[in-house]
Amino acid sequence: MQTTFNTLLPIAIGGDHAGFEYKKQIIDWLEHSSLSIKDFGTNSLASVDYPDFAHPVASMVEQGEAAFGILLCGSANGVAMTANKHQTIRAGLCWNSEVAKLVRLHNNANIICIPARFVTLELAIDMINIFMQTNFEGGRHQTRIDKISC
Protein backbone atom coordinates (compact mmCIF):
# COMPACT_ATOMS: atom_id res chain seq x y z
CA MET A 1 0.00 0.00 0.00
CA GLN A 2 1.32 3.40 -0.98
CA THR A 3 1.20 6.09 1.70
CA THR A 4 2.47 9.66 1.97
CA PHE A 5 2.97 9.22 5.73
CA ASN A 6 5.97 7.81 7.58
CA THR A 7 5.23 4.07 7.65
CA LEU A 8 7.90 3.54 10.31
CA LEU A 9 5.49 5.13 12.80
CA PRO A 10 2.25 3.47 13.90
CA ILE A 11 -1.18 4.74 12.93
CA ALA A 12 -3.14 5.90 15.98
CA ILE A 13 -6.78 4.82 15.97
CA GLY A 14 -9.67 5.23 18.36
CA GLY A 15 -13.36 5.70 18.59
CA ASP A 16 -16.44 5.34 20.69
CA HIS A 17 -19.04 2.56 20.77
CA ALA A 18 -20.63 3.74 17.49
CA GLY A 19 -17.33 3.28 15.68
CA PHE A 20 -16.25 0.06 17.40
CA GLU A 21 -17.28 -2.44 14.70
CA TYR A 22 -15.68 -0.42 11.89
CA LYS A 23 -12.54 0.14 13.97
CA LYS A 24 -11.97 -3.60 14.37
CA GLN A 25 -12.30 -4.18 10.63
CA ILE A 26 -10.18 -1.16 9.68
CA ILE A 27 -7.43 -2.41 12.00
CA ASP A 28 -7.56 -5.84 10.31
CA TRP A 29 -7.30 -4.17 6.89
CA LEU A 30 -4.36 -1.99 7.94
CA GLU A 31 -2.51 -4.85 9.61
CA HIS A 32 -3.04 -6.97 6.48
CA SER A 33 -1.21 -4.17 4.65
CA SER A 34 1.71 -4.57 7.11
CA LEU A 35 1.08 -1.23 8.82
CA SER A 36 1.60 -0.83 12.56
CA ILE A 37 -1.39 0.25 14.66
CA LYS A 38 -1.79 1.79 18.11
CA ASP A 39 -5.38 1.13 19.18
CA PHE A 40 -6.69 3.46 21.88
CA GLY A 41 -10.09 1.75 22.09
CA THR A 42 -12.93 1.47 22.80
CA ASN A 43 -13.01 -2.28 22.83
CA SER A 44 -16.73 -3.01 23.03
CA LEU A 45 -20.17 -1.75 22.07
CA ALA A 46 -20.77 -0.42 25.60
CA SER A 47 -21.55 3.30 25.69
CA VAL A 48 -18.45 5.43 26.31
CA ASP A 49 -17.37 9.06 26.08
CA TYR A 50 -15.61 9.81 22.76
CA PRO A 51 -13.11 12.35 24.24
CA ASP A 52 -11.55 9.52 26.24
CA PHE A 53 -10.39 8.02 22.92
CA ALA A 54 -9.96 11.11 20.75
CA HIS A 55 -7.51 12.86 23.08
CA PRO A 56 -4.97 9.99 23.20
CA VAL A 57 -5.04 9.64 19.40
CA ALA A 58 -4.56 13.39 18.95
CA SER A 59 -1.78 13.48 21.57
CA MET A 60 0.14 10.69 19.86
CA VAL A 61 -0.09 12.46 16.48
CA GLU A 62 0.72 15.83 18.04
CA GLN A 63 3.86 14.43 19.70
CA GLY A 64 5.07 12.92 16.42
CA GLU A 65 4.70 9.39 17.73
CA ALA A 66 2.12 8.37 15.10
CA ALA A 67 2.14 8.76 11.33
CA PHE A 68 -1.45 10.02 11.46
CA GLY A 69 -4.70 9.28 13.26
CA ILE A 70 -8.06 7.71 12.53
CA LEU A 71 -11.06 8.55 14.71
CA LEU A 72 -14.54 7.07 14.47
CA CYS A 73 -17.81 7.87 16.14
CA GLY A 74 -21.45 8.10 15.12
CA SER A 75 -21.33 11.48 13.38
CA ALA A 76 -17.55 12.08 13.67
CA ASN A 77 -18.32 15.61 14.85
CA GLY A 78 -17.49 14.90 18.48
CA VAL A 79 -14.14 13.26 17.80
CA ALA A 80 -13.21 15.97 15.27
CA MET A 81 -14.04 18.78 17.69
CA THR A 82 -12.11 17.05 20.47
CA ALA A 83 -9.02 16.32 18.37
CA ASN A 84 -8.97 19.85 16.97
CA LYS A 85 -8.55 21.25 20.49
CA HIS A 86 -4.92 20.10 20.19
CA GLN A 87 -2.85 22.94 18.78
CA THR A 88 -1.10 21.11 15.92
CA ILE A 89 -3.93 18.78 14.97
CA ARG A 90 -5.94 19.23 11.82
CA ALA A 91 -8.70 16.63 12.09
CA GLY A 92 -10.90 16.43 9.02
CA LEU A 93 -14.43 15.04 9.11
CA CYS A 94 -14.86 12.96 5.95
CA TRP A 95 -18.09 11.60 4.50
CA ASN A 96 -17.00 10.87 0.92
CA SER A 97 -13.83 10.14 -1.02
CA GLU A 98 -13.48 13.63 -2.45
CA VAL A 99 -13.56 15.20 1.00
CA ALA A 100 -10.97 12.66 2.20
CA LYS A 101 -8.69 13.78 -0.62
CA LEU A 102 -9.26 17.49 -0.06
CA VAL A 103 -8.61 17.44 3.69
CA ARG A 104 -5.11 16.17 2.86
CA LEU A 105 -4.53 18.10 -0.37
CA HIS A 106 -5.68 21.51 0.91
CA ASN A 107 -5.75 21.25 4.72
CA ASN A 108 -2.84 18.88 5.40
CA ALA A 109 -5.08 16.98 7.82
CA ASN A 110 -3.25 14.62 10.14
CA ILE A 111 -6.34 12.86 11.51
CA ILE A 112 -9.23 11.51 9.49
CA CYS A 113 -12.58 11.43 11.29
CA ILE A 114 -15.20 8.99 10.02
CA PRO A 115 -18.95 9.08 10.78
CA ALA A 116 -19.62 5.34 11.23
CA ARG A 117 -23.41 5.76 11.30
CA PHE A 118 -23.44 7.54 7.93
CA VAL A 119 -20.94 5.74 5.69
CA THR A 120 -20.41 2.10 4.73
CA LEU A 121 -17.35 0.22 5.89
CA GLU A 122 -16.21 0.03 2.27
CA LEU A 123 -16.41 3.80 1.94
CA ALA A 124 -14.59 4.27 5.25
CA ILE A 125 -11.71 2.10 4.03
CA ASP A 126 -11.67 3.87 0.66
CA MET A 127 -11.48 7.26 2.40
CA ILE A 128 -8.60 6.11 4.61
CA ASN A 129 -6.77 4.75 1.58
CA ILE A 130 -7.21 8.04 -0.30
CA PHE A 131 -6.22 10.02 2.81
CA MET A 132 -3.00 8.01 3.11
CA GLN A 133 -2.10 8.37 -0.59
CA THR A 134 -2.74 12.10 -0.95
CA ASN A 135 0.09 14.59 -0.58
CA PHE A 136 -0.42 18.06 0.82
CA GLU A 137 -0.35 20.58 -2.03
CA GLY A 138 1.32 23.36 -0.02
CA GLY A 139 1.60 26.82 -1.59
CA ARG A 140 -1.39 29.05 -0.90
CA HIS A 141 -2.82 26.31 1.31
CA GLN A 142 0.19 26.46 3.65
CA THR A 143 -0.41 30.19 4.09
CA ARG A 144 -3.97 29.41 5.21
CA ILE A 145 -2.89 26.61 7.53
CA ASP A 146 -0.39 28.95 9.14
CA LYS A 147 -3.34 31.14 10.20
CA ILE A 148 -5.28 28.36 11.96
CA SER A 149 -3.50 28.29 15.33
CA CYS A 150 -4.56 30.73 18.03
Decide if pLDDT at 86 tops 80: yes
Active site residue 32: no
Sorted by where each begins, the domain ranges of the chain are: 11-145
CA angle 98, 60, 68 (to 5 degrees): 25
Residue pair 26/125 in contact by the 8 Å Cβ criterion: yes
Instruction: Classify residue 91 as exposed, middle or buried by CB count within 10 Å of its CB (0-12, 13-18, 19+).
Output: buried
CA dist 87 and 104 (Å) reads 17
* Whether pLDDT at 63 is above 90: yes
pLDDT bracket for residue 2 (50, 70, 90): low
Catalytic residue among 17, 32, 106, 141: 106
11-145 CATH? 3.40.1400.10
- Per-residue pLDDT band for 1 (boundaries 50, 70, 90) equals low
Beta carbons within 10 angstroms of residue 140's beta carbon = 9
User: Is the predicted pLDDT of residue 6 greater than 90, yes or no?
Assistant: no
Average pLDDT value for the chain: 95
Sign of CA dihedral 30, 110, 62, 42: negative
pTM: 0.96
